[in-house]
Amino acid sequence: MKRSLSILIAVLIISCKGNNEGTNKVLPIDKQATEETKKLYANLFNIKDKGFMFGHQDDLAYGVEWKYEEGRSDIKDVTGDYPAVYGWDIGRIENNADKNLDGVPFDKMREYIKQVYDRGGVNTISWHINNPMTGGDSWDNTPGTVASILPGGEQHEKYKRWLDSAAAFLLSLKGSDGKPVPILYRPYHEFTGNWFWWCKNTTSKEDFINLWKFTVNYFQEKGVHNLIYVYNTSDANVNTKEDFLAYYPGDNMVDMVSFDIYQSGGGEKQDKFINDTKRLVGIIDEVAQERSKLSAIAECGYEQVPYEKWWTETLMNSIGNHEISYVLVWRNHGWNEWMKPPRMHYYAPYKGHQYEKDFIEFYKNNKTLFQQDVTKFNLYK
């Protein structure tokens, strides 16, 4: 009797342990997500306590004063290692264009995404989609655009064609193993701002949520099952958890919660940025824990990084001990003559940057994860 009781207890302990450690405990919202997508999702939960991944937009395509040099990356030039997360934007795929809005050829983007997956890095995609109602760009925030593309709206068929183009691209992303590459997909980003046609000032909550649901369901109908869906606000107009969740489409529609925030100004320390970021990181961490989701700072940066301790002090202090998945800084365009005023437009250091040493310290910090770290975690297995 005693013996059988202890066997029973042993069996119970083993089975409980199995459940807790099972990597399938957390599943992405897409019930038909590919195996690699499910593995990535579960592994991102598993590595949360190891640190946060560092990401960079368009990292492999170009940097400050170079373009399309095979294997090059400003982050690698500075640290010897690539980032762990690589951001891409598919704006202009809706026109079936050859290049995205920032001039990156889609064929090259596909190749970079493959390289990243092959070496165990993580790809994330946003879409600065043109305005389907006016023919303007994402920043044409004419009211009523979202309503016009929903079912029953005048531009609905056009919107579906645009989604078809995006779906074809997303389905074409394959690793060397022939498997679809999992993507952290971040549609309709920064909606709490007032600069895009899907933003809060011109779009009702109901229309935004309907657009989100329609888009997720449409991609799934088209057989796109390699997406992890990332909900994203700006820092603008987000003071509380309620503000953050203002247009949240539901736990069955979102895998990860995130926000974007930028520092601006002339190189001073700026406690305001740290305090704002801390508050928002606290909000996403809380929301993620309550809803069993992941969290991230999906876009961030200080153009030209003019403060000497921005990486080790400003950014590290802003994140603190919160277990976010990643922080991504925006693109290293270099000299940008279209900006007003024309200026150097970059957010990551490059070889020779005045404060690259601080970034090397940031790289060495145990809490920051770069390519070599995540390769060891085998995120797709």
Q: 3-state class of 208 per DSSP?
A: helix
- CA pair distance 354, 306, nearest whole angstrom: 8
Q: How far is the CB of 262 from ligand BMA (least distance, A)?
A: 8
- CA pair distance 154, 160, nearest whole angstrom: 12
Q: Which is nearer to ligand BMA, 89 or 235 (by Cβ)?
A: 89
Q: How far is the CB of 53 from ligand BMA (least distance, A)?
A: 20
Q: Which is nearer to ligand BMA, 166 or 294 (by Cβ)?
A: 166
Q: Which residues contact 298 (CB under 8 A, 6 or more apart)?
A: 124, 126, 186, 189, 230, 232, 258, 259, 260, 328
Q: How far is the CB of 102 from ligand BMA (least distance, A)?
A: 5
Q: Which is nearer to ligand BMA, 185 or 363 (by Cβ)?
A: 185
One-letter amino acid for residue 160 of the chain: K
- CA pair distance 32, 99, nearest whole angstrom: 30
Query: What's the token pair of residue 376?
Result: 């060891």
One-letter amino acid for residue 107 of the chain: D
Q: Which is nearer to ligand BMA, 188 or 248 (by Cβ)?
A: 188
Binding site for ligand BMA (CB under 6 A): 89, 101-102, 128, 330-331
User: ω before 341 within 30° of 0 (cis)?
Assistant: yes
Q: Which is nearer to ligand BMA, 27 or 101 (by Cβ)?
A: 101
Q: Which is nearer to ligand BMA, 128 or 156 (by Cβ)?
A: 128
Q: How far is the CB of 338 from ligand BMA (least distance, A)?
A: 7
Helix axes 205-221, 156-171, angle to 10 degrees: 50
Q: How far is the CB of 49 from ligand BMA (least distance, A)?
A: 32
Helix (H) or strand (E) holding 12: helix 2-21
Q: Which is nearer to ligand BMA, 332 or 371 (by Cβ)?
A: 332
Q: How far is the CB of 74 from ligand BMA (least distance, A)?
A: 15
The CA-CA-CA angle for residues 237, 243, 244, to 5°, reads 100
Q: How far is the CB of 38 from ligand BMA (least distance, A)?
A: 30
Long-range contacts of 149-155 (CB under 8 A, 24+ apart): 149/211, 150/207, 150/210, 150/211, 150/214, 151/214
Q: Which is nearer to ligand BMA, 137 or 313 (by Cβ)?
A: 137
Q: Which residues contact 14 (CB under 8 A, 6 or more apart)?
A: none
Q: How far is the CB of 331 from ligand BMA (least distance, A)?
A: 6
Question: DSSP letter string over 325-359?
Answer: SEEEE----EEETTSSS-EEE-SS--TT-TTHHHH
Q: How far is the CB of 44 from ligand BMA (least distance, A)?
A: 24
Q: Which is nearer to ligand BMA, 195 or 205 (by Cβ)?
A: 195
Q: 3-state class of 262 per DSSP?
A: strand
Q: How far is the CB of 35 from ligand BMA (least distance, A)?
A: 31
Q: Which is nearer to ligand BMA, 11 or 339 (by Cβ)?
A: 339
**Nearest Cα to 231, choosing from 165, 161, 287, 159?**
287
